[in-house]
Amino acid sequence: MLSNLSKLSQTFQSQAKDYLNPFHNPKLLKQFFNFYPPYFGAGIRVDTLDFANHHIRVRLPLNKLNQNIVGTQFGGSLYSMTDPFLMILLMQALGNEYVVWDKSANIDFVKAGKSDVFADFHLDDTEIDTIKALAKAGKAVFRNYEVQVVDDQKEVVATVTKTLYIRLRAYSKSKTQTVRI
């Protein structure tokens, strides 16, 4: 009886740990980002976090905390709102067998952001399958992604180009990379 109770307790602890891990629970992860101090302070909000459809939507309302000296969106906040989300989508889609890192980024400011701005991050199943095929021999894979930050009129405010590094964990020097949320 004690053995069964111990197994039941371990099962419950495992399930609770998995449920309470924000990376496994999109609702908790969304709340984590929305209250993460650098994002909260800048006003960055995750509006949509949909791992099933490989989609995240982020919003940055224009306010006194993120305006630059001329009253438009601060460039650092525009970049910050795009920073981790492609990496997170890939980590979630590929699973723990893969290591994913942001390698480089570039931002091109197209026009002044004078209103709320938005960034949508999408991956499709074809892209995920392509990455798996390229990585299966153990080689490092570098993929480039472009994300547009648009205003409330759907006009491009900035274009962010990111390069991500992906590799099977068994071949990576980053074997211990874990989600620390």
Q: What's the pLDDT score for residue 14?
A: 54
d(CA 154, CA 135): 36
pLDDT class for 15, splitting at 50, 70, 90?
low
pLDDT tens digit sequence for 107-156? 999 999 999 999 999 999 999 999 999 999 999 999 999 999 999 999 99
- Please state which of the ranges 1-5, 47-51, 79-83, 155-159 shows the lowest mean pLDDT: 1-5
Per-residue pLDDT, averaged over 20-36, amounts to 78
Whether 162 has a pLDDT exceeding 70, the answer reads: yes
